C-alpha cells in the first residue's frame, strides 16, 4: 500500500509544530514534521515529491525532491516508487 503524506509549508512546520505527528487533520491525510521526512528519506524509506508549479520548484526546493505538478500527479503515479513512502509538499 502506498502512503501519501503531505508536508504543507515545511518552514511553517519547523517554526510552528501545530500538526500532531501521525494524525490526520480532518482530511484523512497524515502530516509529519520536516525532521521526520528528512529521517525517512535518509533511511531510504521515502521520496519527496514537490507538487508546486515548475516556477516555484525552480526557485528552490527540498534537496533531491522530485517535481510532479499537482495537476498531473494522478497520471504520473507509475513514475513513483511502489516500495517507498511518498511525501508530497507544497506551500
Residue-wise pLDDT for 9-40, tens only, equals: 333 333 333 334 455 567 888 899 999 999 99
Supply the CATH number for residue 20's domain: 3.40.250.10
Which of 82, 80, 43, 83 minimizes the C-alpha distance to 65?
Answer: 80
Which of 69, 71, 56, 61 minimizes the C-alpha distance to 10?
Answer: 61
Instruction: Please provide the size of the chain in residues.
Output: 91
Range of the domain at 34: 4-90
* Predicted pLDDT at 38: 94
The C-alpha cell of 43 is what? 533511511
Amino acid at each position: 500500500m502506498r502512503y501519501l503524506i503531505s508536508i504543507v509549508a515545511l518552514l511553517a512546520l519547523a517554526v510552528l509544530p501545530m500538526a500532531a505527528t501521525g494524525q490526520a487533520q480532518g482530511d484523512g491525510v497524515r502530516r509529519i514534521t520536516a525532521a521526520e521526512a528528512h529521517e525517512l528519506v535518509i533511511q531510504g524509506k521515502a521520496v519527496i515529491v514537490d507538487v508546486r508549479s515548475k516556477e516555484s520548484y525552480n526557485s528552490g526546493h527540498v534537496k533531491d525532491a522530485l517535481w510532479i505538478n499537482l495537476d498531473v500527479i494522478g497520471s504520473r503515479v507509475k513514475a513513483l516508487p511502489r516500495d517507498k513512502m511518498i511525501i508530497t509538499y507544497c506551500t
